[in-house]
Amino acid sequence: MAEGSRPGPLAFGQVVIGPPGSGKSTYCQAMREFLARLGRRVAVVNLDPANEAVPGPCALDVGELVTLPDVMASLGLGPNGGLLYCMEYLEANSDWLRERLRGLRGHYLLFDCPGQVELYTHHQALKNVFAQLAKWNFRLAAVHLVDSHYCTDPGKFISVLCTSLSTMLHVELPHVNVLSKMDLIEHYGKLAFNLDYYTEVLDLSYLVDHLASDPFFRNFRRLNEKLVEVIEDYSLVSFVPLNVQDKQSMRQVMQAVDKANGYSFGDREQRSLEALMSAAVGADFHFSSTLAVQEKYVQSQDKAVEEEVMDL
């Protein structure tokens, strides 16, 4: 095998994806600091050519290769077309990425990715970049961030479920879906169901019934039923709640990702009984974290009701 085609030593990391405003860059920096405190060598890689203000240290920036403003100016493309071109350009220049990543071997990598949804549902460029990383011996898990405020709108939540499912099927990486900004959920409005209903994606027929109480969505009941059937037939989508200000919440996400990309079972991880047990637990391992957020949310709602009564 030629020297340049040999895979490098085994490395682990996360590709952080999700729509604009879901908190990807904030998550990358918070997770970098959290893992660094645990003793891991961590580096953030910015793969978003539109991200001109990374909020923290960045070991590698795709802006050295291509930027969205330059592409828009030189090719006369809009933001969406320009971003697709940037990802195709990155795919075509994968040797540049590989050469830069060689200097980060031995690090746990956090790839901060663009926010355009099309890149993760049907466009091939970024998916091919992830596949190339796998050939270079990177063991990656996709961390898909979704803003938790979508839980307060049943119609939008069904849309989020469809997008998450489509992303999981297209990206073809071990996947962890995350409800971000849980510290703000009490400000978003009242939830129709308990929080675990949304994180575990329980019987969605209740959500369809709830939508039917709205005159607008009543006309689309049959469509919603079919969408829900698709989601439940695959039975793949669930969420881990995340508050980047809370260490326990960060730990729960870290454990889910370590299980997904295999870091928990690698020779870099201490083979303690606690580490193995935390990795072996199934989908309900983050129940305590969800319950804590739910209790906080209920207390906030009760306080709001009391204030309304006092005003009366």
* Interatomic CA distance for residues 297 and 307, integer angstroms: 15
pLDDT at 269: 47
Could you give phi then psi for residue 293, rounded to 5 degrees? -65, -40
* Interatomic CA distance for residues 96 and 89, integer angstroms: 11
Contact 63, 114 (CB under 8 A): no
Whose tokens are 């200097």? That residue is: 103
* Interatomic CA distance for residues 123 and 87, integer angstroms: 10
Could you give phi then psi for residue 244, rounded to 5 degrees? -65, -15
pLDDT at 74: 96
pLDDT by residue, tens only, the chain of 312 residues: 455 556 778 899 999 999 988 999 999 999 999 999 999 999 999 999 998 777 778 999 999 999 999 999 999 999 999 999 999 999 999 999 999 999 998 999 999 999 999 999 999 999 999 999 999 999 999 999 999 888 888 888 999 999 999 999 999 999 999 999 888 877 777 787 888 888 998 889 888 888 888 888 888 889 989 999 999 999 899 999 999 999 999 999 999 999 999 998 765 545 443 554 455 444 444 445 555 555 555 555 555 545 554 565
pLDDT at 294: 53
pLDDT at 280: 47
pLDDT at 302: 56
* Interatomic CA distance for residues 142 and 17, integer angstroms: 7
Q: Supply the DSSP symbol for 168.
A: H
pLDDT at 9: 82
- Enter the tokens of residue 179: 């409800």
Q: How far is CA 285 from CA 232, 249, 255, 312, in A?
A: 21, 12, 9, 43
Contact 178, 143 (CB under 8 A): yes
* Interatomic CA distance for residues 12 and 224, integer angstroms: 39
* Interatomic CA distance for residues 117 and 187, integer angstroms: 26
Element (H, E) at 241: strand 240-241
CA of residue 252 relative to chain centroid, distance:
14
Sign of CA dihedral 129, 131, 137, 141: positive
Contact 249, 289 (CB under 8 A): yes
pLDDT at 17: 96
Total number of residues shown for the chain: 312
List domains and CATH numbers for the chain.
11-201+237-263+288-297 (3.40.50.300)
Could you give phi then psi for residue 280, rounded to 5 degrees? -85, -15
Q: DSSP characters for 171-198?
A: H-S-EEEEEE-GGGGGGT---SS-HHHH
Contact 150, 237 (CB under 8 A): no
* Interatomic CA distance for residues 198 and 153, integer angstroms: 11
Q: Name the β-bridge partners of 60.
A: 45
